[in-house]
Amino acid sequence: MRSIAITPVQGDVLAAAPASLLARIGQAMRRHQRAILGVQWLVVVFYFSLLIYPAFMPLPAEDAHIVDNLRLFAQFLFWGVWWPFVMLGTMLMGRVWCGVFCPEGALTELASRHGLGRPIPRWLRWSGWPFVAFVCTTVYGQLVSVYEYPQAALLVLGGSTVAAVAVGLVYGRGSRVWCRYLCPANGVFGLLAKVAPLHFKVSEDIWRQDSRRAPAVNCAPLINIRHMKSASACHACGRCSGEHGAVALALRSPAREILATSVREARTSEAMTLIFGVLGIATAAFSWSASARFVQIKMVLVDWLIEHDWLALLQDNAPWWLLTHYPAAHDVFTWLDGLCILAFILGGGGALGLAVWAGVWLAARVLRDPALSWQKLSLALVPMAGVGVFLGLSMLTLGHIKAEGITLDWVPAVRGGLLALASGFSAYLMLRMCLVRLSLRAVAGLALALMPLGLIVRVWLAVLFGW
């Protein structure tokens, strides 16, 4: 195979690297870090422009459109384009958003360069923070209607950005402590990146053979690059491309990382984020507003409160930063609304997550394979979880498009195709994990593992198609 010589970058190169297009792209990313930084700051300016200014604009007129109203345009970009396609992009290309575009990442890293540089305390490195942060922001966002109102978006997204800068000013030296340990999206991105075909591949053997001394790479998310096996924490920024001739941008099978994960590497915190956070809480958050059962339960409670003359919970005097309160838009939550939303998301999402966890736990118990824990088996649900989040967020996208009068007859077929693709991929991963040896026990374990997958598919069929 023909080889090429790569220009040295910070003392380390891929000497005589294969003339692979992806490897060359990775090397270009390393050479052009200033250009990537410029892109990040353009995104920062764009981000703040669409986050701050629309929050002080009046409500749009009834005949306003995305193309002629900045408030609607910002709402569509944030929740109709940005979030769903960042999730989809992470499943396809890894965490490129984090390393190349994310405004919070750029800001917290800048703050960390000029901050106090204190060491990271043990409490901050607790592995459960991404799950807690994800659940809190998801639930709170629903209570204040973050998808509908720019004031709520400024509060939630702006608050997250302020926290990221504050953490950067206190901890780390030129690193992204916030992104690694506290970002509400970190756990979700880490899970979705496991199925990305595009990743930075590290060869420990080649690294070990290279005895040259060179300055350490400034890995912003604080990864030990030499031992990196997973794309979960990698921000795909390209800074380490070519390091010791052992790191290169490459393709892989989307199933490879999950199937190669050992029992020791399959962490409980990741499994909890996947099962109770993404599959449980997030699914409930997407579905409560369209749930007929939610409305029925709330009306029963309303009648009971009126019958017993307990009217305090029917008041709608909560501030907008606690519960949705926009009288001019005829959109006001009562205290009962808030309690019902909390109960539906936390109770319903928790129950759904518990059912999924019980299925994978029982399957692992039946299989009795030392190389297959319930934590590893749960990772087979990552494709279904990722597509579920994309479908849930794209409901907002389609709502905006429909309001513009665009025909959406093609949507059911696309949704059905995505569900079939995701559930088929998850089923394939389960089959590969469970049927290592063909036996009655293996078949029984596979059947049990498929049950929570079937439950999630059933829930999404009800949400999207009313089945």
Considering only CA atoms, which of 247, 245, 192, 250 is closest in space to residue 224? 247
Q: Mean pLDDT per segment of 10 residues, for the chain of length 467 residues? A: 35 43 93 94 94 92 86 89 93 95 95 92 93 95 94 95 96 93 96 96 88 77 92 94 92 96 94 97 93 91 92 93 94 96 96 97 95 96 97 89 86 95 98 92 95 96 87
Neighbours of 210 (CB within 10 A): 14
* pLDDT number for residue 2: 36
* pLDDT number for residue 422: 97
Q: DSSP readout, 133-168?
A: HHHHHHHHHHHTTTTT-HHHHHHHHHHHHHHHHHHH
* pLDDT number for residue 238: 93
* pLDDT number for residue 208: 87
* pLDDT number for residue 186: 95
* pLDDT number for residue 393: 93
What's the burial of 293, exposed, middle or buried (CB within 10 Å: 0-12/13-18/19+)?
Answer: exposed
Question: What one-character DSSP code corresponds to residue 343?
Answer: I
Q: Residue 310 and residue 317: Cα distance in Å, rounded?
A: 16
Tell me the residue type at 302.
V
Considering only CA atoms, which of 337, 287, 338, 317 is closest in space to residue 466? 287
* pLDDT number for residue 6: 35
* pLDDT number for residue 100: 95
